[in-house]
């Protein structure tokens, strides 16, 4: 009885010392199948991580935006229309007139790169005139990692990928530089001159704008976008000009969303939530006429009849008064 047991144990141990050729072939085939299944998933890891980082950037921006309002009696950060480059801000007086949620513009190639050694060593995003700089000390937050635009003339990478809904924010009192004697006072809500879509009107009253956190009654803070990835060709000042008007046969694009995430863009909303939204029509993020590098759009408004994305964009931008 003991001998039989001992022999069986010896035989089992000897058989466990190696694989047969058939067993080895099965293991190799199994590894090959697993590799074929896993490699495509691994190949998609980088884009997914870029989308995650874009969402994280926008979460930090929208949190800073909310904190500014909490610290300023419910007033939203300035989102004015100072279409002036960072390098035009050469004196303290001029700089003060540029105060905004973010100063500068991506329109000019030399303004689309951050030169911290100039202007007293202050970057665009850490400049006190960028009012969110109090809450965000990492300038990388302003750039989507999937934004790989490089100006073909100056070979410059953009330092900002995000813009703010032109219906959201306040004006700075020194905006009289641009408005003349009719300048709104400090803290007035933005006018939203592009909300009609087909023409700019700095006296428009048809569409609601939002100057305080408490003003998001319609369509509500969860349904009003604040920050969005903008197309690197159309991005210029800090405003994201989206038409709130969309009707069958009449849909308009002024500033173009980005499609950096496989035809999708990051969007943050006034309640603080952030999404990646997939565009349905390629005209939304890559219109065929785009544009001289680093110069912004050569057309102020593009009519793109029945672009389905325009109906969505209009619904999250503003509502009729």
Is 168 within a domain?
yes
Residues in the chain: 321
User: Which class for 291: exposed (0-12), middle (13-18), buried (19 or more C-beta within 10 A)?
Assistant: middle
User: ω into residue 226 within 30 of 0, thus cis?
Assistant: no
Is 205 within a domain?
yes
CB 106 within 8 A of CB 86: no
Share of the chain above pLDDT 90, in %: 43
pLDDT at residue 119 above 50?
A: yes
Q: How far is CA 251 from CA 199, 303, 309, in A?
A: 12, 6, 9
pLDDT at residue 294 above 70?
A: no
Q: How confident is the model at residue 4, as a pLDDT? A: 45
* pLDDT tens sequence across 169-203: 998 755 555 555 565 666 788 989 899 988 888 78
Across 144-173, average pLDDT = 85
Q: Scanning the structure block, which residue is given the tokens 């199994």?
A: 30
Q: How far is CA 42 from CA 49, 148, 198, in A?
A: 11, 21, 45
* pLDDT tens sequence across 11-45: 444 445 566 777 666 667 777 666 555 555 444 44
Share of the chain above pLDDT 70, in %: 69
| Mean pLDDT, the chain, whole residue set | 79
Q: How confident is the model at residue 245, as a pLDDT? A: 92
Is 10 within a domain?
no
**Longest Cα separation, the chain:** 111
Domain containing 158 equals: 25-317
Q: How confident is the model at residue 222, as a pLDDT? A: 97
Q: How confident is the model at residue 15, as a pLDDT? A: 47
In whole angstroms, give the CA distance from residue 291 to residue 298.
6
* Confidence band of 90 (pLDDT split at 50, 70, 90): very low
Across 208-232, average pLDDT = 96
pLDDT at residue 6 above 90?
A: no
Across 139-143, average pLDDT = 94
CB 286 within 8 A of CB 261: no
Is 181 within a domain?
yes
Q: How confident is the model at residue 183, as a pLDDT? A: 59
Among 165, 166, 170, 163, which Cα is nearest to 73's? 170
Q: How confident is the model at residue 287, as a pLDDT? A: 74
Q: How many domains does the chain have?
A: 1
Q: How far is CA 300 from CA 55, 108, 241, 254, 291, in A?
A: 29, 17, 10, 6, 12
Q: How far is CA 159 from CA 91, 104, 151, in A?
A: 23, 11, 12
Task: Flag the least confident range among 158-167, 180-189, 227-236, 290-299.
Answer: 290-299
User: Which has more pLDDT, 153 or 256?
Assistant: 256
pLDDT at residue 289 above 90?
A: no
Distance of CA 198 to the CA centre of its chain: 24
pLDDT at residue 118 above 50?
A: yes
User: Which has more pLDDT, 163 or 87?
Assistant: 163
Across 103-124, average pLDDT = 71
CB 257 within 8 A of CB 284: yes
pLDDT at residue 62 above 90?
A: yes
* pLDDT tens sequence across 236-256: 889 999 999 999 988 988 889
Q: How confident is the model at residue 46, as a pLDDT? A: 52
- What is the SS3 assignment for 87? helix
pTM (2 decimals)? Answer: 0.80
Q: How confident is the model at residue 303, as a pLDDT? A: 80
């Amino acid at each position: 009885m003991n001998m039989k047991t001992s022999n069986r144990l010896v035989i089992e141990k000897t058989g466990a010392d190696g694989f047969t050729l058939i067993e080895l072939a099965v293991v190799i085939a199994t590894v090959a199948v697993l590799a074929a299944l896993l490699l495509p998933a691994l190949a998609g890891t980088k884009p997914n991580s870029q989308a995650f980082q874009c969402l994280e950037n926008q979460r930090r921006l929208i949190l800073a935006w909310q904190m500014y309002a909490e610290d300023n009696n419910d007033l939203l950060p300035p989102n004015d229309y100072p279409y002036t480059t960072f390098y035009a801000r050469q004196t303290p007086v001029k700089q003060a007139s540029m105060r905004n949620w973010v100063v500068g513009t991506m329109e000019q190639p030399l303004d689309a790169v951050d030169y911290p050694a100039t202007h007293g060593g202050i970057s665009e995003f850490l400049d006190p005139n960028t009012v969110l700089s109090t809450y965000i000390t990492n300038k990388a937050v302003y750039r989507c990692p999937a934004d790989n635009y490089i100006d073909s003339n100056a070979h410059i990478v953009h330092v900002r990928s995000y813009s703010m809904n032109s219906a959201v924010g306040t004006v700075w009192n020194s905006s009289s530089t641009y408005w003349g004697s009719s300048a709104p006072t400090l803290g007035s809500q933005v006018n939203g001159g592009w909300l009609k879509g087909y023409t700019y009107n700095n006296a428009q009253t048809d569409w609601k704008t939002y100057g305080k956190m408490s003003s998001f009654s319609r369509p509500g803070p969860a349904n009003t976008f604040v920050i969005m990835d903008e197309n690197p060709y159309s991005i210029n000042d800090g405003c994201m000009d989206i038409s709130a008007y969309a009707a069958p046969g009449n849909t308009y694009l002024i500033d173009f969303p980005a499609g950096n995430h496989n035809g999708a863009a990051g969007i943050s909303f006034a309640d603080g939530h952030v999404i990646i939204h997939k565009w349905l029509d390629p005209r939304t993020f890559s219109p065929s006429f785009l544009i001289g590098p680093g110069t912004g759009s050569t057309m102020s408004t593009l009519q793109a009849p029945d672009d389905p994305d325009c109906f969505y964009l209009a619904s999250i931008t503003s509502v009729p008064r």
